[in-house]
Structure 1
Amino acid sequence: MLTCNRLAPSVLQQQNAPSSSKHYDIKWRKLRREKVLKIDLPDFDERRREEKMTPDEMRLKMKKDGRLPPRNFMERPLNIASTGGLFEQYVPPEGDGKSSAISKDGAKQRLTELEKRGKSYMELRKIRKYEENFDTKEFAQQAQLIYIEAHKLMEDVKKNEDELHDRITEHAYPQMMFGLELKSLRWNFIESLEPPRVVHIRTTELMGKENLYAQVTVRMHTKQTLAIYDRFGRLMFGSEAVVKDILEYVVFEKHIVNEYGLWRIHGKIVPDWMPPREPLIKSYRKPAIEPVQEDEPKSEVVEVEETTQPNLATA
């Protein structure tokens, strides 16, 4: 059975047409041009030539290439984890911790504290915008635990430095660690004479209204022991056996806008009426004293005059 494949006349003409009569449409010229990409090959010798250029030649070349002149400084990222100090510092009443609430001085203290609580309640509302469950009584207990953990970690700073930064701000760290190099710290918390309580709350804005920092002052009246030994093991300050009553006003700070912010120790308020701290007993190296060599005594020559004695026999 014979079969015949019949092709369309246009297909036959396209197959049999000579190459010289091939038609190129102008509208495809742009697409044919975009098929080829011109790439500037790197010139490895250009850097050597730039090193030999004068400043004027280098400026003209950079202007021709569309490059900006290099900057002489590098911008570093800025991270403000804490403020630089205490703002609107709390002023403790004179005689606090010594006078009772029944006495005249104690009644004055309660009255002045009531006058200062108005602004603290206003600042407390700002904190509760970011921490809905913030309670002053619970925070005072939490602050005391942070205080105890921080002082326990200070006994071995090299081992617990990262954990210590989670409980102490960058502002308070150098102040609390000053003078403790090559020394041993022994600190113990005995008990609380009075429950810790919040006495002062303040917030501040830093580099913008939405960047808020909060500082809460907690009053702590506790019993503690503290002893500091030098590198030779000699006692410099305090004693591990003597328990003392300590009244402190500790300021805790937090970047409340930060979701992962932590309450940390930011500083301590030392009122003017507080008694001065005992001085440190320092040990010094005994200087090497060379023995003084005394000069040998000079032998004195005594001249004896010859005297003629009378001859008794002849006399």
Structure 2
Amino acid sequence: MNSLRAIQRVAPALMLANRVNRVPFTPAVALGIRGYATRHRQSEGKQILVRDYGVIANYVPPEATPSISDFHKWRLIKWRNMRNSVQNMLGIGLIKYKSLYEKWNSGRFLSLAEETYKDMNSAFARGDRHLLEEVCLDAMYSNLKNDLKKRNNVTWEWQYHGEVEAPKIVCVRCMGTSGFSKTGFSIGQVTVRMHTKQSLAVYDKKHRLVGGDPNNVQHVKEYVVFQRALTDPEDAWKVYGKVTPTEQKF
């Protein structure tokens, strides 16, 4: 019973939870096809560390726009979405300007983000801490590692069953110590809406199903924040955390 309660408490990290900083089919990294930069590297005799600024912006556009008949709510949502779109364009412009080693391409980024998201979920299910440390930044990795410690002699089997909708960029921001200069340290953060089909099954030591269902494919919607040091040639886009859409207040 204690094991099952622990499973029920931790399982939402994969299937349905969206809280901040929580968190293959055939994981490419595990097969050696795609590599990730390490979090601590030596470059020109200096150690480069990814800095933690927190989630720069957690705005998530609402799934539906209020009817124009409710003009007050409709106007506020339109204004917030327009302001976010302008900030996104500025963020992408700054990422393009400040990134000294990688040319921004939205399609290529979304493809990489989706693969990284699948690798993270697959590694978490298998308990692969090494891969988790490669695809996640400190806060996300720490939370997932703590969740792994709560497992009690059970095995997780997670499967990705495709997209419900294609991944979509919803928020882009850039921050650093250098303002509009190309010198200094700068990071980019991009929030991606992931709407995928997943299944999860949990088995005990005798391979008896004690949680989830391998045949129960669920639609999971998550907003995943990716971060990269723009001025570091060896850094890669990694999972910083997740944000939860907040209830709109008027």
Q: For the residues of structure 1 that align with 2:192 and 2:177, how far apart are their CA atoms?
A: 23
State the shift of 1:91 in Å: 3.4
**Aligned pairs for 1:110-189 within 5 A:** 112-129=80-97, 130=99, 133-157=103-127, 160-181=128-149, 182=152, 183-189=154-160
Larger strand proportion of the pair? 2
1:243 has 2:217 as partner? yes
State the match for 2:192 in structure 1: 218
Structure 2 counterpart SS, 1:238: strand
State the shift of 1:189 in Å: 0.9
- Give the structure with higher Rg (CA): 1
Q: 1:88 aligns with which of 36, 57, 67?
A: 57
The aligned amino acid for 1:85 is: G
Structure 1 counterpart SS, 2:82: helix
State the shift of 1:228 in Å: 3.5
Which fold has the larger relative contact order, with Cα–Cα distance below 8 Å and residues 6 or more apart in sequence? 2
Q: 1:267 aligns with which of 235, 241, 245?
A: 241
Structure 2 counterpart SS, 1:171: helix
TM-align CA RMSD: 3.1
Q: For the residues of structure 2 that align with 1:120 and 1:261, how far apart are their CA atoms?
A: 22
Structure 1 alignment gaps of length 5 or more: 1-76, 274-315
Q: For the residues of structure 1 that align with 2:144 and 2:93, how far apart are their CA atoms?
A: 31
Q: For the residues of structure 1 that align with 2:169 and 2:199, how far apart are their CA atoms?
A: 24
Q: For the residues of structure 2 that align with 1:134 and 1:117, how far apart are their CA atoms?
A: 17
Distance 1:242 1:198, change over 3 A: same
Structure 2 alignment gaps of length 5 or more: 1-45
Amino-acid identity (%): 24
Query: Normalising by the residue count of structure 2, what TM-score does the alignment of the two structures yield?
Result: 0.64
Q: For the residues of structure 1 that align with 2:50 and 2:145, how far apart are their CA atoms?
A: 19
State the shift of 1:114 in Å: 3.2
CA contact (8 A) 1:82 1:171 kept: no
State the shift of 1:243 in Å: 0.9
State the shift of 1:272 in Å: 4.3
Equivalenced residues, count: 188
Please give the per-residue CA displacement for 1:97-143, whole angstroms capped at 9, x wherever unaligned: xx5x8x849x9567743331101111111211215631223311220
